[in-house]
Structure 1
Amino acid sequence: SVKWTDSKEGVLGCLFHPNAPPCIGGWIPWFGAAFEFGKAPLHFIQKARPKYGPVFTVVAAGKRLTFVTLNEDFRAFFTSKDVDFEQAVQEAVHNTASISKDCFYKTHPTCATIIKGRLTPGHTSMLSAHLCEEFNDNLENLGSEGSGQLNELIRYTVMSNLLGRCNSPSNALTRQEFLEKFTKYDEGFEYGLKDAPYVFREWANSKQWLLSLLRNMAVKSQETLYSENNRKVI
């Protein structure tokens, strides 16, 4: 798990603040450990933990990323009265989903309550059943012979399950386009957090394509709801 924040103190504040965790910087102050960390983040964290301990900070491209790796520290962090989860994730949500700051703070409490309710143990079993059904159907569509990429099958199964069959691509051409856009977005997600659309132009294009798909789904859903309400009135 990671909590990252902008800081005006920069590397010096990270190194010399008396209560700060161990800090991993680099030879170039602003750039820090960005190259090593960006090349293989998980490997970088695995190597850093035994050397610096369960909590440490990485300076990378002007950001200070503080990693908390133990479950007990996890609970202390997320239950602290000094932690504001909404503030921590608002910028990331804006960068990856283009949701404005005002809209985020207005809708997040309701969305968080709905998601927590849907992910209770009693509901997750229902979600698993639908997911297995969708996977088996997609597996049958491959036929009895041939070959394919398992990760593509899983990605499409998960996304078609979330979107619903009525909103999922219906032919091979649109399905392939969907998989390409979603794969590009998924693989570049952590870079998209940094909001660099000019550097990661293909990722930004994939994001806009997926957002357009979701907007069309929302419009279709509203039209269906309006039509159903009209029929009830009649």
Structure 2
Amino acid sequence: MGSLLQILLALFISVIGALYLLGSFRRRRAGEPPLDKGPIPWFGHVLEFRKDTAKFLQRMKDKHGDIFTVQLGGFYFHFITDPLSFGSVVKEARTKLDFTKFAEQLVARVFGYNSMEIEHKVLQASSTKHLMGDGLVVMTQAMMSNLQNLMLHSVGSGDDKQWQETGLFTYSYNIVFRAGYLALFGNESVKSTGTLDKAKEIDRQHSDELFKEFRKYDQLFPNLAYGVLGPSEKMEAERLKRLFWSTLSVQKMRSRDNISLWVSDQQQVRDEQGMQEFMQDRFMFLLLWASQGNTGPAAFWLLLYLMKHPDAMNAVKKEVEEILRETGQEVKRGGPLIELTRDMLLKTPILDSAVEETLRLTAAPVLTRAVLQDMTINMASGQEYKIRKGDRVAVFPYIAVQVDPEVYPDPYTFKYDRFLTPDGNKKTDFYKGGKKLKYYNMPWGAGTTMCPGRFFATNELKQFLFLMLSYFDFELKNPNEEIPGIDIRRWGFGSMQPTKDIQFRYRLRF
């Protein structure tokens, strides 16, 4: 799950990127005075940025240093690429650097949702209450119940003993999305079906149908964000939005059981604020997209990296088995299904390291702020840069720190224990230029836009992996097939997606 505002900020800079093809582009050093003449289009760079944002920004970093400026769609964007200087952005007061106004404008344009004045406050308060602490205990239980329904409903029935073959990305995204959707937006009512088994069956069918529609929207999203949908694609995007507005409508939500307090609280606040129901329906789709668009792809990468690295798989599997033994649980024919609590999920340092390494390699959000008043950016080098009101400040942690070979030797190689100390505890000491980094891995963003759902999202990944390792045999169809590349169209949207799926097969152990 990505923070709603964090994802929207990434979306903002991506949409602004569409203006490269229509407007101007120019690079300059930060602090350079305003241009005397009109903007100069650098069409070669325009195409390079549009084709591969990360590659372009890396080249600008190599050429211009720790801070450089590009003019995008009428705004000066100051990119800070020195992780030792990130605090200048992350810690700055919102009176100087703001992240809400242009996100609200974008949401209205792309989703048709008009934000409340207290939008950020409501989101933060509800997320802190229900996706952390005691609230996280409840959400973890709900996620576990729905994962069991989707993955293990046929345990003991004699079904699914044969190998099933499918795409690993499709499978991982499907299961995690559907379980997360049901945990957040509730289950089919037992009153309407008569029996719990029938309600669970409808949940399986309904969530699978919804996932297929969500993937259609998900695949359209990059071009939708860039504003380059063709006529037929625009019609399809509109159809999908209306479908989700209907499916997630306030009226239909009232008939469902087990709706999370995270969702119901936000609906209640909007109702109390006098928001019309049709606008609340649009918010629910926005909430679904923001909450479920990243965890499934992350689950794919985690499972794939473990399958491609047997030492990592063995270490994580051993840890999973030890946790189950410590809690007196055993996976066996005819036995009860295992239960994973939040407390159990706090005792997995090896898995935690594997998750963090996966996110380091595959999560690429953009952190953006609007400059509300003239100010100075203080770099760790001691240099100062004057930034003008109306400009933008941006950080792209992926190239700035997450794949920096000085911080992470051999940065593009998956090392499951990279975030472990020699004694097996969490490692937090990473250095740049001999100085310890505070912001060494930023898949969840940082500061006031740091994802408040990060603990729930991490638990989703870990629960999915626990069940896969405990109940299934699985393997890649072609063990020698290379790990697919990253779909560069999705830079800035959070968890990256692969350029192609990779086939695997799985079966229940009993």
- TM-score class normalised by the smaller sequence: 0.5 to 0.7
Deviation, 1:179, is 0.5
Given that 1:134 and 1:161 are in contact with CA atoms closer than 8 Å, whether structure 2 keeps it comes out as yes
Given that 1:135 and 1:154 are in contact with CA atoms closer than 8 Å, whether structure 2 keeps it comes out as no
Given that 1:118 and 1:124 are in contact with CA atoms closer than 8 Å, whether structure 2 keeps it comes out as no
> Match for 1:90: what amino acid?
E
Given that 1:156 and 1:179 are in contact with CA atoms closer than 8 Å, whether structure 2 keeps it comes out as yes
Given that 1:57 and 1:64 are in contact with CA atoms closer than 8 Å, whether structure 2 keeps it comes out as no
Structure 2 counterpart of 1:211, from 237, 245, 257: 245
Question: Does 1 or 2 have the higher relative contact order (CA < 8 Å, sep 6+)?
Answer: 2
Question: Does the alignment pair 1:75 with 2:90?
Answer: yes
Deviations 1:58-113 (A, max 9, x none): 567x576834454223226x5253544332212320133212xxx43xx131x322
Deviation, 1:219, is 2.4
Deviation, 1:56, is 4.0
Q: 1:223 to 1:132 in 2, by over 3 A?
A: closer
SS in 2 for 1:165: coil
Q: Which residue of 2 aligns with 1:230?
A: none
Distance 1:118 1:137 in 2: 22
> Match for 1:152: what amino acid?
N
> Match for 2:210: what amino acid?
F
Q: Which residue of 1 aligns with 2:43?
A: 27
Q: Give the TM-score of the pair, scaled to structure 2.
A: 0.33
Q: Which residue of 2 aligns with 1:85?
A: 99
Distance 1:84 1:152 in 2: 35
Distance 1:221 1:122 in 2: 18
Given that 2:25 and 2:70 are in contact with CA atoms closer than 8 Å, whether structure 1 keeps it comes out as no
Which runs of 5 or more residues in structure 2 are unaligned?
1-8, 190-199, 257-263, 265-510
Please give the residue correspondences for 1:1-234 in structure 2 after superposition, counting only pairs within 5 Å: 4=13, 11=24, 15=28, 18-19=32-33, 26-27=42-43, 33=46, 35-57=47-69, 62=73, 66=77, 67-69=79-81, 70=83, 71-75=86-90, 79=93, 81-99=95-113, 103-104=114-115, 107-109=116-118, 111-120=119-128, 123-141=131-149, 142-143=151-152, 144=155, 145=160, 147=164, 149-166=171-188, 170-198=202-230, 200-201=233-234, 202-214=236-248, 216=249, 218-220=250-252
Percent identity, aligned pairs only?
Answer: 17
Given that 1:181 and 1:206 are in contact with CA atoms closer than 8 Å, whether structure 2 keeps it comes out as yes
> Match for 1:115: what amino acid?
L
> Match for 2:24: what amino acid?
V
Give the structure with higher Rg (CA).
2
Q: 1:191 to 1:197 in 2, by over 3 A?
A: closer
Which runs of 5 or more residues in structure 1 are unaligned?
226-234
Count of aligned positions: 207
Q: 1:163 to 1:169 in 2, by over 3 A?
A: farther
- Higher helix residue share: 1
Q: Give the TM-score of the pair, scaled to structure 1.
A: 0.63
SS in 1 for 2:202: coil
